[in-house]
Structure 1
Amino acid sequence: MSRWMPLSALSQYYNLPLKCFTFRDFQLAPTLEEYERIIGMPLAKSLPYLFRGQYPPWASMAKLLKVSELEVLWIRRNWNGLEGVPRANLEDRLYHLQQEGDWRTFMDIYGLLIYGIVLFPHLKDYVELAATDTFLAKRDMGENPVIAVLANTYCTLNHYYVRNGKVLRCCTSLLSSRVD
């Protein structure tokens, strides 16, 4: 039995109007404290990440990837108003960094991929600037992304419930591991 089958089974009980999981005699809603434990990042140890109203400039992405800003502007994409970069471009960059032996940058981009694909998955094979902003806030300022992950979980559950009825397809394999 897959480790994630229970979570997949649980997703069918998500109740959109109540924004929780509803069973015969009780309701279950993951709390902030539970997410702190799941992710392994207590809020008491760092300030929470809160969106500041503006995503990082493309120059920040270029600095993170250690490429020119022109190269980042060339690979960036905009899907339905969500700006970001394709996963394939980030994976190509990882391959080159592995060949060069630049492990610090490799780990930064690998962390960004985890944030963009596992923690904040809005479009398949795409890392948007919102995930980049959250990742940089954690890496550079030590801000805790637990609140954003919890909010994104509910947003994702709501989105798929509205879009597909009660069918939910999700990736949670890294949610239970430490992502800092």
Structure 2
Amino acid sequence: MEKWFLDKVEDKAAVRTWSKTTQREKCDSLAEEYVSELWDFTRISVGQNGLQELKEIWEQWNDEVDKHLFRALAQFWNHVYSCFTFEKVDLVPTIEEYMALLRCSKIQVDKTYSRAVNVSTFLKKLMNIIGISEQWVATRIKQKGDRKCIPWKNLKHLILAHPDTKKKVDVFALSIYGLVVFPKALGHVDKAVTDLFYRLDKRVTPVSVILAETFRSLNACRKAGEGRFVGCAQLLFTWFHSHFWKVDKVSYQVFSENYSPLKEIVATPRRDDILEEKWMAIL
């Protein structure tokens, strides 16, 4: 038994040594003749859902995104490596960083994409979340392109008038996920968002999905040279801000359990008069 254990340890050490050696020699997994190329310019739209109605319910939520800075930042996204490339420096948001930003480090990361045994329909999930009759939900489900969704205006009415206080909070949280975190269909909450939200009470983390959608959308926009960013622009902007501007001159404060970078960035005055070209020169 002891010999078997030692053999396994040696095998792992050999694999680790081989991996490090290969990384130093080959640098990456791309073909040897491949040349990483950044396009001259990408036209990217940062169209977002209007948050005025959400602000009336919870005024402190909306953190306006600097569109000039965001568009400039998108020009440095390297879709081959899925990271931001600033000359010789690569920078990419990680699961650990986003978990710190969202304050959800206790959630089980490995259960994000696990398949549920009994999968409920979009209609049934909405009924459970909203707590309203099947007829009411069925008449309000809409088809937007190839996806099903429910309009925000219907959810807003429930937030203001639902007799169950807990359901009000649930509907409000679902709206934030659909309008801000995953704004797939503007003015609507998408079925895929409902699928994820339905599983949050089972301790399934949204962080990996948020990052996956961020990478997917940035890659799609860069490859096409244009497009709308379908992801949480506010969260990506906060992550970017935390790397380039120190808070109170204290490094890595963003990873402290007693500090909220989201609250900090909302309270921090920022200039919005710097044009995209100027931001690109700065970056």
- Whether the 8 Å CA contact 2:183–2:230 is kept in 1: the answer is no
Within-5 A mapping of 1:44-55: 45-47=107-109, 48-50=111-113, 52=115
- Whether the 8 Å CA contact 2:130–2:171 is kept in 1: the answer is yes
TM-score by length of 2: 0.53
Choose from 177, 186, 191 the match for 1:124.
Answer: 186
Quote the residue 1:64 is aligned against. 129
Choose from 120, 126, 134 the match for 2:196.
Answer: 134
Amino acid at match of 2:80: P
TM-score by length of 1: 0.80
Q: Report the CA distance shift for 1:174/1:56 in structure 2 as closer, same or farther (over 3 A).
A: farther
In structure 2, distance between residues paired with 1:152 and 1:55: 22
Amino acid at match of 2:102: I
After superposition, the C-alpha distances for 1:52-89 in whole angstroms (9 at most, x for unaligned) are 28964212211221211121111111222211111111
Partner secondary structure for residue 165 of structure 1: coil
Question: After TM superposition, what 4+ stretches of structure 1 lie above 6 angstroms from structure 2?
Answer: none
- Whether the 8 Å CA contact 1:137–1:143 is kept in 2: the answer is yes
Q: Give percent identity, aligned residues only.
A: 27
**By how many angstroms is 1:162 displaced?**
4.0
In structure 2, distance between residues paired with 1:72 and 1:166: 32
Quote the residue 1:83 is aligned against. 148
Within-5 A mapping of 1:17-166: 17-42=80-105, 45-47=107-109, 48-50=111-113, 52=115, 56-57=120-121, 58-97=123-162, 100=163, 102-138=164-200, 140-165=201-226
Gap regions ≥5 residues in structure 2: 1-62, 239-261, 264-283
Amino acid at match of 1:82: R
Number of aligned residues: 172
CA-atom RMSD, angstroms?
Answer: 2.9
In structure 1, distance between residues paired with 2:146 and 2:64: 35
Gap regions ≥5 residues in structure 1: none
- Whether the 8 Å CA contact 1:87–1:113 is kept in 2: the answer is yes
After superposition, the C-alpha distances for 1:82-134 in whole angstroms (9 at most, x for unaligned) are 1111111111221212xx4x321111001101111111111111111111111
- Whether the 8 Å CA contact 1:84–1:127 is kept in 2: the answer is yes
